[in-house]
Amino acid sequence: MTTATLDTRILGRTGPAVTSPGMGCMGLSGAYGRTDDDQSVRVIHSYLDAGGTLLDTGDFYGAGHNEQLIARALRHRNRDDVVLSVKFGAVLAPGRFPAGFDGRPAAVRNSLTYSLQRLGTDHVDIYRPARLDRSVPIEDTVGAIAELVDMGYVRHIGLSEVGAETIRRAGAVAPISDLQIEYSLLSRGIEDEILATCRELGIGITAYGVLSRGLIGGSGSNDGGRAIQPRFQGANREHNDALVARLQGMADAKGSSLAQLAIAWVAAQGDDIVPVVGPRRAEQVASMIGSTGITLDGDDLARIDALIPPGAARGDRYPAQFMADLDSER
């Protein structure tokens, strides 16, 4: 492993420069078990102090808690040193139960208004619908964000978990900086069509789930949302654990952890891809940054493909009711 420092990559032809890996903040609001806000702020500070710039959140993470947490972490920081990527549109019922998606232009403007207040800022750097609202043309949703760009409240437009046709339709309305979508050694569906479409149109990829929610290099626990994830259940879990174990020898040879190898693999798929990792402890921040010191050449990548072929994982990446919401899976 060579000396590790955060990389800088540009999100697409029109997007901002960000550090890679980026930091996903969802796990700091209870998605994978209980958290402590003081510790979470320290985690964010660890990433920023190491030179990190990209913080990814959603207005529905913890029903607004995550944005408020980020605001606290940035209170005495230079706002212009941070790229805030915000997802919107997920509708929650009491108890924080998912209740659909709202991509209407009026909802876009309303959601941003509340996000700006919770984040304590006058703009977000990337604003994206969390999922496609099938009742609203994507042109209308993206058009509403484009108006907010013109007004100065948003800097760039992103997408999340949409397929090639939707990407093309959205890109015809306004420049798209990046598509946020799951991409990992165990989730390679974007390689079929979506990745090529983004590259044709000059759209970057912010890849989440690069550790497959902890299947790769995690604690092995089923805390929080993992309890309902198909890949963590029964025979699926046994099969997937065995797949991941195939990489241990290669990780050892590289002087890395399994998690670092998995992050490095995503980063090695192209300079237009930024892995987004969700640390919950300061030492995990150090580990994700350490992944940049791992070099994977063509032989290494071919060996990894042989060890874990595309499509080898068992179980959908979300429960059935959530898979139905993914335009990217159609």
Q: Give the residue numbers marked as catalytic.
A: 61
Handedness of CA 102, 106, 112, 115 (dihedral sign): negative
Q: How far apart are CA 90 and CA 57, in angstroms?
A: 12
Contact partners, residue 133, CB within 8 Å, separation at least 6: 89, 100, 101, 102, 103, 104, 141
- Residues found in the chain: 330
Q: How far apart are CA 162 and CA 77, in angstroms?
A: 34
Please report the beta strands in 59-173, taking only residues with DSSP state E, as ranges in sequence order.
83-88, 90-93, 97-101, 124-129, 154-160
Report which secondary-structure segment, H or E, holds 284: helix 282-290
Pairing label, strands 97-101, 124-129: unpaired
Handedness of CA 107, 203, 268, 55 (dihedral sign): negative
Q: How far apart are CA 194 and CA 14, in angstroms?
A: 18
- For every residue of 105-125, DSSP letters joined together read HHHHHHHHHHHHHHHT-S-EE
Q: How far apart are CA 138 and CA 144, in angstroms?
A: 10
Q: Is 252 helix (H, G, I), strand (E, B) or coil?
A: helix
- For every residue of 201-251, DSSP letters joined together read HT-EEEEE-TTGGGTTTS-----GGGGG-GGGSHHHHHHHHHHHHTTHHHH
Handedness of CA 109, 115, 119, 120 (dihedral sign): positive
Would you give the DSSP letter of residue 131? Answer: S
Q: How far apart are CA 64 and CA 188, in angstroms?
A: 31
